[in-house]
Amino acid sequence: MAAPAFELASGAEGRWTGTPHGAAVVCVNGGTAARVPGTWSASLEWLVGAVAPRFPRLGFVEVRYRVKSWHRLDLCVADGAAAVDAAREAGAERIVLLGFSMGGAVATSNAAAPEVEAVVGVNPWLPPQLDLAPLRGRRLAIVHGTLDAPLPGIPGVKPAQSAAAAARAAAAGVEVERELVRGGLHAVALRRRSGDGVLVLPGATRYRDFVVRELERFCA
């Protein structure tokens, strides 16, 4: 069960599931074009709930940005860095960054932190202008839904974009793994209108299984 939220050094919020026994997973959310207050990610919430019981020695910290907008990516990156610091302060000596959507760019931008060993992107936004240099010496693992695409008023990332980013990273010597989820949409889960729990979308178990395999590799 997730612990109550706490304030990160940047002014954003974090919340823990589990306790890091030397290792942690920092989970960073997607965003929108509008400069709006951050929210907890339904997709990451479901993934953490589905995955964390399998890894009792990992602590999972989810991040709620101050502003969840790709037009303020700088603020989101700073919030992600503050979560890495919080994980370190909680005793994590090894870290995986798990980024959903825009969180892929946030995670990549924070990958140079010495504790970070891998970035796992779930339908990640990795635009051509994003600097992939922080990934040097790390592992980049991408899972992307084949039906992911932006729709009017609804963010999304075409799988071709992550394919191009994976190729760029591999050309730079980064260890890369990429898998497609047939029929997978952009979100893994959506918040119910009642606010009570989440609605799981097609392909969710495939995303979960990919994250599990990457964390098994990390913990091996």
Q: What is the 3-state secondary structure (H, E, C) of 79-106?
A: HHHHHHHHHHHCCCCEEEEEEECCHHHH
Report whether 16 contacts 54 (CB < 8 A). no
d(CA 75, CA 8): 13
Which CATH number, 3.20.20.370, 3.40.50.2300, 1.10.760.10, 3.40.50.1820, labels domain 6-219?
A: 3.40.50.1820
Report whether 16 contacts 3 (CB < 8 A). yes
Helical ranges in 5-57 per DSSP H: 42-51
DSSP class of 19? -
For position 1, what pLDDT does the model report?
A: 54
**Per-residue 3-state assignment (H helix, E strand, C coil) for 131-166:** CCHHHCCCEEEEEEECCCCCECCECCCCHHHHHHHH
Per-position b or e across 9-44, b if 16+ CB within 10 A of its CB: ebebbbbbbbebeebbbbbbbbbbeeeeebebbbbb
For position 56, what pLDDT does the model report?
A: 96
d(CA 3, CA 84): 17
For position 193, what pLDDT does the model report?
A: 82
For position 2, what pLDDT does the model report?
A: 61
Q: Full-prediction pTM beyond 0.85?
A: yes
For residue 67, list its beta bridge partners. 37
d(CA 8, CA 85): 9
pLDDT tens-place values along the chain, 220 residues long? 567 899 999 999 999 999 999 999 999 999 998 899 999 999 999 999 999 999 999 999 999 999 999 999 999 999 999 999 999 999 999 999 999 999 999 999 999 999 999 999 999 999 999 999 999 999 999 999 999 999 888 889 999 999 999 999 999 999 999 999 999 999 999 998 876 789 999 999 999 999 999 999 999 9
